[in-house]
Structure formats: C-alpha cells, structure tokens
Amino acid sequence: MLAFIIRRFAGLVVVLFSITVIVFLLFFATPGIDPSARLAGRNPSPETVAAVKHEFGLDRPLPVRYGLMMKRLFISRDLVSYGNQALKVVPAITSAAPVTFSLVLGAAVLWVVMSIAMGLLAVTFKGTVVDPLLMIVALIGISMPVFWLGEVLNLITQDRLHDTFLFSWVPPLGYTPFTENPWQWFLHLIIPWITLSVLYIGFYARVLRANLLDIQNEDYVRTARAKGLPPRRVLLKHMLRNSMITFVSLFGLDFGFLVGGGALLTEVVFGLPGVGRLTFQALQQLDLPVIMATVIYGAFFISIMSALVDIVYARLDPRIRPS
C-alpha cells in the first residue's frame, strides 16, 4: 500500500512538472506573448524595450527563463503579472480561491443532496411514471450548456421577473465575501450554485439509480429483505451505503476538477472573481505568469484529488489494488 502511494505521488510530481513545461513552451511559441512592448508604453524607444526585456529576464535563454519564473513563483513568491505589474500572482490566486471554493462547495452540497433524493425517488418509484420522468429531467440537465443555463437564469432573475415577488431578492451579479456579510454571500451565490449543480445533479442521479438497480439483486440485499427489514431501511442502510463507494470516488474527481478551475464558465457568466475567471482573463491577455500559476494550481487540485480517490478506492476495495 505504501509503495502504491509513493508511486502515485511520484507520478503526480512528474505530471505537474510536465504541465508547467508545456504551458511555458506553448505560450512562448505564441507570437505577441512578449510583453516588453506592452509594458514599455505607447511611444517606447528601443532602449526602453530592451530595458524592460532585461528586467523581466526575457533576453535570457528559454530554460533560464523557465527557471526564473518557477523561482519567482514558488521560492520568492513575488511573480508579477505581465499585464499589470502591480498585480502579484500569488496573492491574486489566494484571493480568488475562496470565491471558487464558495461556489463549488455550495454547488456540491446541492448536487449531492438533490441527486441522492432523485436517485432514491427513481428507484422507489420504478415502474411508475415518476422514474422515467425524473430520468428525463436528469438527462435534460446533462444536455444543457452551463453558460447558457446561467444566461437564461440571469435573464429571468435579473430582468424579466426581477421586479416580481419571486426574484426581487436576487442581488446584482458579483460576489460578497463571507467574512464581510454572510447573508449577502449566500444570496449572491444561490443562482450560481443552482446553475453549476444542474449538470451534476442529473449525472449523479443517473449513476446512483443505475448502481442501486445493479445491486438490488445482490445476495446481501436479498438477505436483508428476507430478514423482513422494511424496504426503506434496506434501501437507505444497505443499498445506498454500498453505492456510496462509486459515488464518493466520482465526487472526488469532479470536486477537484471544479475547484481547479473547471467552474470557469459559471464564474464568467455570474461575474464571480474566482480562479477560473482569473485564468480566463489571463488567457485573453496572454498574461503568462498568471496563466502559469493558475494552471499549476488547477492541475495540483485535480491530480491530488485523483490520487486520493485512487488511494481511498484501493483501501476500500482491495480487488482493484494494482500489483
């Protein structure tokens, strides 16, 4: 087991290192990435441009530039953006991360609760009209582009029905930190939470339903039934608990993916200044230091979560432990 963990983490380091190299090469091969002309202002003399180049180490060979950037990112932690030198990269990420966390955490609670409810309802009402209806709703949820859903919800809650009693509580787009005003934090995030979670509710409900149906004929479930336990108890205590293994591992991966910047579209649509939007803005400006930092941040979360899921899974289910 220990060897497995070590190997998994060694692989993680290799992956993270390769990602930084790839991002670096990808963007230094892009024309126009060289920020010296931008930083030197609108009427730059060649000397000024050269001076800026030197200041940012852009006149050095590629491997040295890579090393310098990594050093300033991880060791001295004073890497600044190419677009705005007043913007330090590390604080920019640490101030954007709580927004992303707030968004993903709330959505996760919502999608776990809702999808379990939907999955259980579907299984309970299998054979009636409720089951296919729920599953169609779930499928529609999976088939909607999240940014489109967000736009439509914005249209309804911010404009069309904003002045009715239904949605007059919806605050303007944006974010209020929890520490500043917890109630406003909550209000600002309700619609984004719903938007982000719709896809996952649909997805998890379907997975859970399939899983529950798979195991309903397993021996231990039949034994529990034969003992005369009430059906609801069998469903909740025996079947649901067992299905949670798949559920939790899926959840780990998706959570890592979203925290790592996957909630980008939702953040953009709702004007939430999270990590995804930060990356998006950096990409629009080809601001390499910020891109680098956010991609490392994202890759780190995704890799950590997938490694954790592997390890937990291996612990729970020895059959799949790799030799």
Partner 1 sequence: MAEPATELSLDPAAVLAAEEHEVAIVGRSPWYLAWRRLRRNYFALFSLVVFVAIVTACFLAPVYAHQVAHTGPNETHSAETVIVSGKPTQVISGGATYDAKTGEFTVRAVKILGPTWWHADGRFVLGSDNLGRDVAVRLLYGGLNSLKIGIGSAFICTFFAVLLALIAGYFGGWADWIITRFFDLIWAFPVLLLAIALGSALSVNGFHHFGIDIEPGSLWIPTLVISYVLIPYVGRPVRGQVLSLRQKEFVEAAVGSGAGPVRIMFSDLLPNVASTVLVFFTLIIASNILTEAGLSFLGAGVRLPDPSWGNLIASGQEQIVSAPWLTLVPGIAIVLTVLSLNIFGDGLRDALDPRAKVRIEH
Partner 2 sequence: MTSKRRWTWLLSVLALAAGFSLMVAAYGVAANRTKAAPKQAHKSVGTLKAVLDTIDYLDPQQAYTGQSWWAMWNVWETLLTYRHVDGPGGYKLVPGLAASLPSISANGKLYKFKLRKGLKYSNGQAIRASDFEFAIKRGFLATGQGVGFYTDIAGAKAFAAHPTAGGDISGITANNAKRTITIKMAKPRGDFLTILALLFAAPVPAGTSPAIHNGNIPASGPYRIVGYDPNRGFTMLRNRFFKPTKNIPRGNPNRVEVSLIGDANTATQRVVSGSADYSNAAIPPDRIASAKNRGHLILRKTANTYYFWMNVNVAPFNKLKVRQAVNYAIDRKALQTLVWGGLGQPTQNVLPPTYPSYKKLTLYSHNVAKARQMITAAGAKGANVTVWTREVSDALTAAQYYVSVLNSIGLDAKLTTLPRATYYTTIGKRDTKAQTGWARWLEDYPHPLDWFDVLLNGNRIVDQDNNNYAYYSNKKINSSIESLKKAPVLTDAVNTRWAAVERSIMKDAPWAPWSNRVFPEYFTKKMGCIHIQLLYGIDWTRLCRK
Residue ranges that bind partner 2, judged by CB under 8 A = 30-33, 37-45, 47-49, 51-52, 55, 83-87, 92, 95-96, 117, 121, 124-125, 128, 130, 158, 164-169, 171-174, 231-232, 271, 273, 281, 284-287
Closer of 217 and 284 to partner 2 (Cβ): 284
2 CB-near residues (< 8 Å, 6+ apart): none
Distance between CA atoms of residues 68 and 62, nearest Å: 10
Q: What is the closest distance, in whole angstroms, from the C-beta atom of residue 61 to partner 2 in the complex?
A: 22
CA 265 remoteness from chain centre: 10
**Total site size for partner 1, rule CB under 8 A:** 63
Q: Please give the radius of gyration of the chain, using alpha carbons only, rounded to the nearest integer.
A: 24
Which x/- pattern, by CB under 8 A, does the window 21-60 give for partner 1? -xx--xx-xxxx----------------------------
Question: Is the Cβ–Cβ distance between 183 and 214 less than 8 Å?
Answer: no
Residue 265: both structure tokens together: 């579209």
- Of the candidates 314, 251, 319, 254, the one whose C-alpha atom is nearest the C-alpha of residue 5 is 314
What, of partner 1, partner 2, none, does residue 169 touch, CB below 5 to 8 Å by kind? partner 2
**How many C-beta atoms surround the C-beta of residue 204 within 10 A?**
24
Q: Quick check: 3 binds partner 1 (CB under 8 A)?
A: no
What, of partner 2, partner 1, none, does residue 173 touch, CB below 5 to 8 Å by kind? partner 2
CA 211 remoteness from chain centre: 25
Q: Quick check: 19 binds partner 1 (CB under 8 A)?
A: yes
Among 20, 36, 102, 154, binds partner 1 (CB under 8 A): 154
Which x/- pattern, by CB under 8 A, does the window 246-265 give for partner 1? ----x---x--x--xxx-xx
**How many C-beta atoms surround the C-beta of residue 169 within 10 A?**
10
How far apart, in Å, are the Cα atoms of 125 and each of 114, 204, 221? 16, 17, 18
Please give the full DSSP string across 257-287, using - where no structure is assigned. Answer: HIIIIITHHHHHHTT--SHHHHHHHHHHTT-
What, of partner 1, partner 2, none, does residue 168 touch, CB below 5 to 8 Å by kind? partner 2
Q: What is the closest distance, in whole angstroms, from the C-beta atom of residue 310 to partner 2 in the complex?
A: 36
Greatest Cα pair distance, the chain, in angstroms, is 87
CA 210 remoteness from chain centre: 25
Q: Quick check: 280 binds partner 1 (CB under 8 A)?
A: yes
Closer of 18 and 128 to partner 2 (Cβ): 128
Among 73, 118, 196, 199, binds partner 1 (CB under 8 A): 199
How far apart, in Å, are the Cα atoms of 241 and each of 52, 69, 131, 216, 219? 61, 47, 21, 12, 15
- Of the candidates 293, 199, 208, the one whose C-alpha atom is nearest the C-alpha of residue 254 is 199
Among 142, 187, 312, 314, binds partner 1 (CB under 8 A): 142
Q: Quick check: 105 binds partner 1 (CB under 8 A)?
A: no
DSSP state of 320: G
Q: Quick check: 317 binds partner 1 (CB under 8 A)?
A: no
Residues that bind partner 1 (CB under 8 A): 11, 14-16, 18-19, 22-23, 26-27, 29-32, 126-129, 131-132, 135-136, 139-140, 142-148, 151-152, 154-155, 159, 199, 207, 210, 214, 250, 254, 257, 260-262, 264-265, 268, 276, 279-280, 283-284, 286, 291, 294-295, 298-299, 302-303, 306
